[in-house]
Amino acid sequence: MSATLTEHDAAPRTPGPRPPKPDAPAARGPKKRKFPFAPWMLLAPSIILLVVMVVYPTILMFVTSFTDLEIKNKMLGTPANFVGFDNYVEVFTKSDFPAVLVRSLTLMVILTVLIVGGGMLLALLMLRLTKGWRLLVSVGLLLAWAMPPLSATVVFGWIFDTDYGVVNWLLNTITGTQDFRGHGWLADPLSFFMVLIIIVVWQGIPFAAFTLYAGLGQVPDEVLEASQLDGANAWQRFRLIVMPYLRNVVTAVIVLETIWNLRIFTQVYALQQQGGLASETNVLGTYLFRQGLGEFGVTAAIGVFMVILLMGISYYNVRSSLKEEEA
Amino acid sequence: MRKLGIVALGAAAALTLAGCSTGGTESASSDGGDITVWVVGSDTPEDARAYLKDTFESENDGWTLTVEEKTWADVSDTYAAALQSNDSPDVVEVGNTQTASFADQGLFLPLEDFASDDYLPGLVESATYDGDLYAAPYYAGGRIVFYSQQILGDTAVPTTLDEYVETGKARKTDTVSGIWAPGRDWYNALPYVWAHGGFIAEQDGDAWKAGFSSEGGIEGLTQLQDVYLNASNAAKDGDETDPQVPFCAGEDVFLSAPAWVQWSITAPADAEAPGCADTYGSDLHAFALPGLEAGETAPIFAGGSNVAVATKSANPEQARAALDIMAGAGYQDLLAAGGLTPGLTASAANLPDTEIAKAQAVALENSKVTPTTPKWAEVEAAQIIQEALVKIAQGGDVASIAADLDKQIEDILNS
């Protein structure tokens, strides 16, 4: 793989049909003073978008996290007070914050493992399927992916409904008892998270499966065939041939899934509306949302913490994938 | 290359301009525009909504009015976010217990020249903050106990709270709730606490003292736990939405719910929100929740709503015109006819002369409100009362849950 990449990367760096070196210094001299107008113009739309959508809100969030900004300030036009690290102290000394953090991180790990693992299995399956079956599986995956998370959560909430849910009915029918009549799936935090994991994994797998499937298409058949002739079994081929080729794709999927699964909000919030105890099922996103009405300072402090946390988690993965590309 | 750059610049400019202009489209000139009214829940009757739209549009040439329905779960975060945005709704319905907090945040415009003397004093008080009126009284409502004669059969209607609970327990089966009591329905939990002498929170000098763990509070919550565990099949972590569903399935003996729920129950079975007009809804009766002694009623929560004009409304003048229609006699008469106690006192004459309307009037005679402080909305938003009740419904230790709850309430009210 590294060989392929080097060739690829190297290609644009070669001077191409340009004049030979002796000319270059003379030509570069006058050009240097001129502002490279065209490249910057081409970059402008993305830079403007990034500044408006990412840089400005992030800076504002950092600033807000050091103030006691309230809705009142905004409505009455009065400036907020600078309170230093008070908001951060308040968040970290809150008794329930460590539990929320641990819950979020655990959930993130479980979800990412299940989604990437399940996605990989599905991608491998799609590779073996005949055209018709592959189409069927793709459509099924796309439908799951295209469903708005809120609608999906509401429907799953009904499936697991305490009084009239189909799961309770099914379990009663299978066991031939009435043991599951009125069983509240969301009331117990553990089974709440079981339902939540089902929803999120169900919706998360299609993206991972499609991306990994696209990556699997890049693995040259000759290499696989050669290794098979050399006596490598299926697991060895997957681990030693396919995985190195897929490494960048897998890293990208893992980084994205990690971020998505840590800042998960819609599914948790919607499921909490249908049952369960919010205080025992909050993750970072919903915890932030459920802070006092319009307490922007504290919520911004939690937001800043989440940004730093996510940057820390993604740092290793992004760095290793960049290194890989440079190698 | 340069041409491409210019195209890129153009695209960027278009993007930024498009971003800016979205804020401006709402602000229409005086010769026309749209007014958005948010009502909460399905209790505002359809004919009142139509009346509001027709009256406003005929009185204000070139203007249109849109009624949007929100849920009670929206009335803290969603409201706060929307009301401070440039895309704010113009007129909003808000719970009586939350009005002061929204006014405190500057989200409502004070109402000048409003004849507040003609309205229910309790609601006017809830809408007054720092001496100014911030919202018009919309309606009041109390919870009453519904039953269907077909289900109740020969069992006598209880005359005391203890009898009510005993009947509920005696009539509970695997499928039928004697008393339908979902854990998160905190409005229906308060009467038990109040009847036994407990309280939510009282001002003690400068500080607030919460009373769920007072002697009466514990007694009330213990009785409530008995109801949850031995009289109800409702979800322990469920809320009070769509109470007509189990009722119409014949699964409730007693259902304590707001009076307007009668319309949900007596809706035709093939309606969009199906009721059971032909079966259990055909002989629907109601009574006020009885108190500890025969002949008295238990104190119930005086529910209700106010309507206010948003500070950020693009057209406050027209918004006020819409609010005046909603607070006016024609509209309030329709609310009364729908079984809601109208904010406008004179419209009460329009209340239907039915057993259910009378039961509600009797129940409301003995009613209480939540503590009157802007901080109260924070207690409601944190949902700590609901969570404590869920834990009680799951069979937790009442004394320690009540003590924890009181501490949480005091922390918020005294912060």
pLDDT tens, position by position, A253-310 = 998 899 899 989 999 999 998 888 888 899 999 988 887 666 788 889 999 998 898 8
Distance from CA of A308 to the nearest CA of B (A): 25
Contacting residues for B230 by C-beta, under 8 A, at least 6 apart: B169, B172
pLDDT at A200 over 70: yes
pLDDT at A1 over 60: no
For residue B323, give its domain range: 35-140+303-351
* B382–A290 C-beta distance less than 8 A: yes
pLDDT per position as a tens digit, A136-173: 999 999 999 999 999 999 999 999 998 889 999 999 99
B196 vs B178: CA distance, rounded Å? 21
Whether residues B170 and B230 share a domain: the answer is: yes
On whether the CB atoms of residues B364 and B302 are closer than 8 A, the answer is yes
Rg (CA), chain A: 26
Contacting residues for B272 by C-beta, under 8 A, at least 6 apart: none
Picking from B97, B82, B10, the residue whose alpha carbon sits closest to that of residue B306 is B97
Contacts of A52 in chain B (CB under 8 A): 16, 19
A151 vs A155: CA distance, rounded Å? 6
Distance from CA of A171 to the nearest CA of B (A): 17
Helix (H, G, I), strand (E, B) or coil at B344: strand
pLDDT per position as a tens digit, B102-143: 998 889 999 988 888 888 888 888 898 888 999 999 998 889
pLDDT recorded at residue A156: 95
- Check CB contact of B176 with chain A, cutoff 8 Å: no
Picking from A294, A195, A136, the residue whose alpha carbon sits closest to that of residue B102 is A294
pLDDT per position as a tens digit, B183-235: 999 999 999 999 999 999 998 888 999 999 999 999 999 999 999 999 999 99
Burial B144-168 (b: 16+ CB within 10 A, else e): bbbbbeebbeeeeebebbeebbbbb
pLDDT at B23 over 50: no
* A187–B378 C-beta distance less than 8 A: no
pLDDT recorded at residue B32: 80
pLDDT recorded at residue B162: 96
Whether residues B123 and B152 share a domain: the answer is: no
Residues facing residue B290 across a β-bridge: B297
Are β-strands B303-309 and B91-95 bridged in parallel, bridged antiparallel, or unpaired? antiparallel
Closest residue in B to A281 (Cα) is B387
In a domain, residue B15? The reply is no
Chain A interface mutation, best of B105, B134, B312, B411, highest count of A Cβ atoms under 10 Å: B105
On whether the CB atoms of residues A101 and A235 are closer than 8 A, the answer is no
Q: Residue B412 to residues A159, A220, B209: CA-CA distances in angstroms?
A: 37, 64, 11
pLDDT at B53 over 70: yes
Lowest mean pLDDT among A99-108, B4-13, B109-118: B4-13
- Region A95-290: CATH code: 1.10.3720.10
B96 CB-side CA count, 13 A? 24
Are β-strands B143-148 and B252-258 bridged in parallel, bridged antiparallel, or unpaired? antiparallel
* B174–A44 C-beta distance less than 8 A: no
pLDDT at B320 over 70: yes
Contacts of A40 in chain B (CB under 8 A): 5
Whether residues B339 and B262 share a domain: the answer is: no
Phi, psi of A195 (to 5 degrees): -60, -45
AA identity, residue B106: G
The mean of the pLDDT values for chain A is 85
DSSP string of A184-246, one letter each residue: -TTTSHHHHHHHHHHHHHHHHHHHHHHHHHHHHTTS-HHHHHHHHHTT--HHHHIIIIIHHHH
pLDDT recorded at residue A180: 84
- pLDDT confidence of A91, banded at 50, 70, 90? confident
User: In the block, which residue shows the tokens 């507040």?
Assistant: B116
Contacting residues for B202 by C-beta, under 8 A, at least 6 apart: B208, B209, B211, B371
Distance from CA of B297 to the nearest CA of A (A): 31
pLDDT recorded at residue A7: 41
Whether residues B123 and B216 share a domain: the answer is: no
Contacting residues for B39 by C-beta, under 8 A, at least 6 apart: B49, B67, B68, B69, B70, B93
Q: Residue B151 to residues A27, A139, B164, B250: CA-CA distances in angstroms?
A: 98, 49, 15, 7
Phi, psi of A286 (to 5 degrees): -75, -30
* A48–B381 C-beta distance less than 8 A: no
Chain B interface mutation, best of A51, A71, A158, A168, highest count of B Cβ atoms under 10 Å: A71
pLDDT per position as a tens digit, B37-51: 999 988 888 899 999
Whether residues B289 and B307 share a domain: the answer is: no
pLDDT recorded at residue A292: 64
User: In the block, which residue shows the tokens 């409530």?
Assistant: B224
User: In the block, which residue shows the tokens 């629907």?
Assistant: B284
CATH number for the domain that contains residue B191: 3.40.190.10
Contacts of A71 in chain B (CB under 8 A): 80, 84, 105-107
What separation, in Å, do the N-terminal and C-terminal C-alpha atoms of chain A show? Answer: 10
Q: What are the tokens at B289?
A: 């929740």
pLDDT recorded at residue A6: 40
* A187–B236 C-beta distance less than 8 A: yes
pLDDT at B81 over 70: yes
Picking from B298, B49, B86, B109, the residue whose alpha carbon sits closest to that of residue B193 is B298
Phi, psi of B50 (to 5 degrees): -65, -40
B377 vs A292: CA distance, rounded Å? 9
pLDDT recorded at residue A30: 52
pLDDT at B360 over 80: yes
- Check CB contact of B390 with chain A, cutoff 8 Å: yes
Picking from B83, B157, B369, the residue whose alpha carbon sits closest to that of residue A74 is B83
* For chain B, percent of residues with pLDDT exceeding 70: 93
Whether residues B387 and B244 share a domain: the answer is: yes
Environment class of B27 (CB within 10 Å of its CB; exposed 0-12, middle 13-18, buried 19+): exposed
pLDDT recorded at residue A214: 94
Contacts of B250 in chain A (CB under 8 A): none
Whether residues B170 and B208 share a domain: the answer is: yes
- pLDDT confidence of A78, banded at 50, 70, 90? confident
Could you say which DSSP state residue A55 is in?
I
Residues facing residue B303 across a β-bridge: B141
* B233–A38 C-beta distance less than 8 A: no
Say how many C-beta atoms besides its own lie within 10 A of residue B200's C-beta: 24
pLDDT recorded at residue A31: 53
Whether residues B99 and B202 share a domain: the answer is: no
* B9–A163 C-beta distance less than 8 A: no
* B106–A162 C-beta distance less than 8 A: no
Whether residues B331 and B397 share a domain: the answer is: no
Tell me the average pLDDT across A223-242. 90
In a domain, residue B254? The reply is yes
Structural domain count, chain B: 2
pLDDT per position as a tens digit, B157-178: 999 999 999 999 999 998 899 9
Helix (H, G, I), strand (E, B) or coil at B66: strand
- pLDDT confidence of A326, banded at 50, 70, 90? low
B407 vs A95: CA distance, rounded Å? 14
Contacts of A186 in chain B (CB under 8 A): 237
* A75–B235 C-beta distance less than 8 A: no
pLDDT recorded at residue A315: 83
Indicate the residue of B5, B235, B391 with minimum beta-carbon distance to A38. B5
- pLDDT confidence of A133, banded at 50, 70, 90? very high
- Check CB contact of B14 with chain A, cutoff 8 Å: no
Mutual orientation of helices A166-175 and A149-159 as an angle, nearest 10°? 30
A315 vs B27: CA distance, rounded Å? 46
